[in-house]
Chain A
Amino acid sequence: MSEIKIKVNQLTRVEGHGNIHLEATDGKLDRVLWEVTESPRFFEWMLKNRHYDDVSTISSRICGICSIAHTTASLQATEAAFNIKLSEQSWLLRKLLYDAELLESHVLHVLFLVAPDFLKADSVIPLVATHGDVVVMAVRMKKLAYNLAEILAGRKTHPITPVVGGWAKLPDIEALKAIRERLDKAVDDAETMVAVVKSLAPGIPAFDRPTEYIALKDNREYAFITGKIASTDGGTVNLNDYAKVTNEFCVPQSSSKYARHKRDSYMVGALSRFNLNADQLLPKAKKAARELGLKAPVTNPFMISVAQTVETMHALEDAINIIDKLLARGIHEEEVKVKPRAGRGVGIVEAPRGMLIHDYTYDDSGHIVSANCIIPTGQNHLSIQKDFDTLAPTILDKPEEEIRHTLEMLVRSYDPCISCSVH
């Protein structure tokens, strides 16, 4: 009898704690499990009775990688509850800040966390010696994104200035002009990133498992913080009705809730956005997609990093366009007016890893009565598990080390944000 037993405790190069567990006898799969072991933090309860002015500060701490996404979803939920419309200037700045996060997060994931898988390295550290130029380029891009966020929000992780209804402090025009030049130069870096990913692409495992792809959709632009919920299986759902899509439920092997819509699982994130909205990418990003041979619909989850690379280019172009608009119209002080009222508000954004939902109910003094947060990775856990179920039986004839590595790569390709999914 030949037995395979694989147990990966605390998968590395991902955010948060998750395990992989596989057992097979005589070439037959007994079980394969994706387990989430992260500690719950109970944000929904911690938000209770909190004043609206502190809510995004607290809820951004759900995640250190996508704290701008959490801040944005949180502010939009509160604004929806109070029926506040942002000024055009506030809106442009919010989108610009969003681009900064997308840029930073995608570069971190693709070049620091995923690339070592293809280069048979355990991390980015040995790559400093072998691929120094690319590492320096990646650090430079990350730093640029960080600095852009700093100019707008005071810092990248856990932004300070974005507040309900607008901005507590406006960015300096000179700083925006200076970063505009760095963004211009970074287009070359993004092209290098496309070339690097293209050179690694032959190492992407051939695997397809079509599923339902869900993302925001807006007919005006490639949606990140606007639009309605859309599915590749058809139809759109209003933000307030997100629960019809997410249908959260619990499973014993996971401290994160799971989600399921029409099929046995659905996916959110860069690939879903690409599958739904590829036509709306900006020109350089479209070119990058062509270069990388990415054409919707893509049904191989290992291609998520490739879609992230395309989005990196999109975020750069979008940031440059927004700064040009801001420089043309000037930046003016605006009074932030907030009048709390009792009611519910839902904010949904596309975090780097996918659809992120904050849903708050307020009392008339502007304190939270109840809160619900649904995280992209929570929605992807089941998709990871279903990929495991389909993929594992087809690779059992491979050496044990390769099976383990392929499963690890699969989880990593989703760019999971596990502590965020548990919150």
Chain B
Amino acid sequence: MKPRVAFFDFTGCEGCQLDALNLEPDELLGLLGAVDIVNFREVRTDRSDEYDIAFIEGSITRESEIARLKEIRERAAVLVALGACACTGGINCMKNAYETEELLKGVYGDCAAYYDTIPTRPADAVVKVDAYIRGCPPTTTEFVKVVKSLLLGKKADLPNYPVCTECRRAGNICVFQRGGTCIGPVTRAGCDALCVSAGRFCWGCRGLVDDPNLDSEKDILARYGLTIDQILEHFRIYNSCTEATQCQK
């Protein structure tokens, strides 16, 4: 029997799901031939509670989502966090800097009571996650790589070194040399330094490398005469949920 695959969306923009299917036509048809997509609310109506691999998109921002995620975990043999929101909490964590009350009142005023929210957390703060496909959104190359290894029952071999390595390989001039700041030195690679190559800098959407040398980021800052606040302003966009941000506050 073909592995049964399900996609579930939590709090996010659904860009990961949509992008995941932006494969080349033959890749897409190949994938559709290799698995049974039994649950994909965004593109298909029929649903099933029987699945082997569950892809989780989005972060957890409501009590009800905790229960739903636990239920999915129980049914799935393999649970994959798809994209920054699911892997690290993503940009949704920026809201954690505010009290829930302030957020609700601020955005919804008198009707705040209609809305429901809790501080944002990534999927693995709620359940065990078996694999991560990082990025906001993930690249299709990495999506395909992880899916292929899952189908073979293996762990995908993903980089655990910083974006700088890929950035230099791509022949980019370092953003720091151009007078900007960049989160690349502490961010997990795998995107081929996509944003720097496109003329910008790394925002850190793939989360920290396992053993981030935050001191080296500090050294760079000192070398280029930048303050820690300048880097944290960027760091907090994607990494507000990580401890590193909390302890440097």
What is A's interface to B at a CB cutoff of 8 Å?
10, 12-17, 39-42, 44-46, 51, 54, 57-58, 61-65, 67, 108, 112-113, 116, 122-125, 128, 136, 139-140, 142-143, 146, 153-158, 160-161, 163, 167-169, 250-252, 254-255, 257, 419-420
Contacts and interface: CB of A to CB of B under 8 A. Distances in A.
Contacts of B25: 136, 139-140, 143
B103 A45 contact: yes
Contacts of B90: 61
B149 interface: no
Given A112-B43, A125-B44, A161 B198 contact: yes
A252 B113 CA distance: 9
Contact of B13 (A112, A125, A254, A420): A420
How large, as a class, is the contact surface on chain B? 35 or more
A154 B195 contact: yes
B37 interface: yes
Contacts of B46: 122-123
B136 interface: yes
Given A58-B237, A419-B12, 10 more contacts: A12-B45, A15-B14, A41-B11, A42-B117, A45-B107, A64-B15, A64-B16, A125-B43, A146-B22, A251-B114
Contacts of B103: 42, 45
A161 B65 CA distance: 34
B18 A10 contact: no
Given A40-B117, A46-B94, A158-B137, A63 B15 contact: yes
A12 B25 CA distance: 23
A40 B115 contact: yes
Contacts of A146: 22
A344 B28 CA distance: 45
B65 A39 contact: yes
A65 B233 contact: no
B187 interface: no
A124 B108 CA distance: 38
A349 B18 CA distance: 22
A64 B20 CA distance: 11
A157 B205 CA distance: 14
Contact of A63 (B13, B47, B95, B106): B13
A74 to B, nearest CB: 14
Contacts of A153: 198
Given A44-B106, A140-B25, A124 B43 contact: yes
Contacts of A163: 200
B148 interface: no
What are the 4 closest A-B residue pairs judged by CB atoms, nearest first? A64-B15, A123-B44, A169-B199, A154-B198
Nearest to A47: B94
Contacts of A124: 43-44
B44 A61 contact: no
Contacts of B9: 17, 419
B4 interface: no
Contacts of B108: 40, 250, 257
B199 A161 contact: yes
A163 B200 CA distance: 9
A271 to B, nearest CB: 23
The listed residue with most A CB atoms (<10 A of its CB), out of B10, B47, B108, is B108
Contacts of B91: 46, 58, 61
Given A64-B17, A128-B29, A143-B22, A123 B237 contact: no
B11 A64 contact: no
A153 B29 CA distance: 27
A125 B37 contact: yes
Given A45-B107, A113-B43, A157 B98 contact: no
B114 A252 contact: yes
A85 to B, nearest CB: 21
Given A58-B91, A67-B15, A15 B24 contact: no
A13 B42 contact: yes
A64 B137 contact: yes
B107 A42 contact: yes
Contacts of B117: 39-40, 42
A39 B11 contact: yes
A359 to B, nearest CB: 14
